[in-house]
A and B are shown apart, each in its own frame.
Chain A
């Protein structure tokens, strides 16, 4: 089972890397072409121009799977709903020169227009001058704190979590001592699972309670967002837990909790491992200090890579339809059957991965907290 999963992961990463590689290669070629074009005609291409060229190429029947996939797993200003319908989102810029700027992302008209000296370039807000060229110096002054697709997705999942858990908490007080009903029934086993199999087994019976709020929050936040990422239409599909900034913050919280709560024994093991010859410490202490930072770093990478890989493989299967469809309509329809079957299979697997990754993140966080709290040689005694 595990080896099959590992194989599929590898395959998905390989496909993703290949597609990304081809995307970058094409982008590079495109850029070079642009520069040559500029020199020949003395007419600098604007952001809007570049976008029009890209559109013309798409219109000309050139399907760029790499770009499609990167656009879908990335963040954007405005949430694409269907066809040509996009939900505009607020663009909030803090410009060190011009102060706070707030306007709707619909002003950019999907990257075709510039608004008050700002434009979209590869779904990033850049400053442009009067001629419509990207102004690098002015762009460096922009702090983009917009409500983007991922931020809105974060707000939606926070609202869902709050509604669910406040209602469940109320039900526990209202129905104290009675059997759980409805949503309580669904969540109680999962909460107990986090308590017994994660917190108690990794931190220990005596100290786990203090860390339960964080572990439960992390688990349900990651689990819900993993699931939302699998929903292909509006409130879902934002790849939030596949965004490295989100996983960075989650891993940072774990790192801070571990570092603040680390006891004498924990720091002793890092700075000078007891029972080890002095000359080995020369290597072991730097390695342990590195390990202190690398553990949360791996937490960040693992969640990001697993969820992003899941999104990439689903999109790759769908892209295959259009890649084959370009050669002939029949091939497109033929491949779509296989594509759909594989996507359904992968989505089933992703449902499992959504849970496993939430569990692994929470469990490893709990284990690092447990290691920081461990008293001298406590781990050697067996508890029966």
Chain B
């Protein structure tokens, strides 16, 4: 196999990998929504069980869920 041909195949492989790497992000939105919903639901459940006057955990955990989904977004897209 000549060096030039190998170079060509390398470029093609690179293109394929780049194209495929977009697919990794197709589920990202749903996953982020899922994280926020799961945290919020956890907070809602805690509030229901504890029956405090102020729905502290619903608010705190839903905000934490948003932060978590952002962290997840950075972690997933920051990967080489």
Interface positions of A (Cβ within 8 A of B): 197, 201-202, 273, 280, 283-284, 286-288, 290-291, 294-295, 297-299, 301-302, 360, 363-364, 367, 379-380, 383-384
Contact = CB atoms under 8 A, between A and B. Distances in A.
6 contacts: A286-B68, A287-B68, A290-B35, A291-B31, A294-B27, A367-B24
B5 interface: no
Q: Please name the 3 residue pairs, one residue from A and one from B, whose CB atoms are nearest each other, closest first.
A: A298-B27, A294-B34, A384-B10
Interface string B1-42: 000001000100100110010011011001100110011000
Contacts of A302: 26-27, 30
A283 B68 contact: yes
A197 B13 CA distance: 9
Given A280-B71, A290-B38, A367 B31 contact: no
B24 A287 contact: no
- Pick from A197, A294, A367, A384 the residue with the most CB of B within 10 Å: A294
A273 B72 CA distance: 12
Given A291-B35, A367-B23, 6 more contacts: A283-B71, A284-B72, A286-B39, A294-B30, A298-B31, A364-B27
B34 A290 contact: yes
B64 interface: yes
A contact patch SS = helix
Nearest to B34: A294
A286 B41 CA distance: 14
B69 interface: yes
B17 A201 contact: yes
Nearest to A298: B27
B12 to A, nearest CB: 11
Contacts, number: 66
Task: Pick from B13, B26, B27, B72 the residue with the most CB of A within 10 Å.
Answer: B27
A317 B70 CA distance: 40
A363 B23 contact: yes
A284 B74 CA distance: 11
A304 to B, nearest CB: 12
Contacts of B10: 384
Contacts of B6: 384
Interface in B21-80: 23-24, 26-27, 30-31, 34-35, 38-39, 64, 67-69, 71-72, 75, 79-80
A202 B71 CA distance: 24
B6 to A, nearest CB: 8
A284 B13 CA distance: 33
Nearest to A198: B20
Nearest to A299: B27
A176 B56 CA distance: 70
Contacts of A295: 27, 31
B68 A360 contact: no
A202 B75 contact: no
A97 to B, nearest CB: 35
Tell me which of B10, B26, B34, B79 has the highest count of chain A C-beta atoms within 10 A of its own C-beta: B34
B49 to A, nearest CB: 18
A283 B6 CA distance: 45
Given A290-B38, A295-B31, A283 B23 contact: no
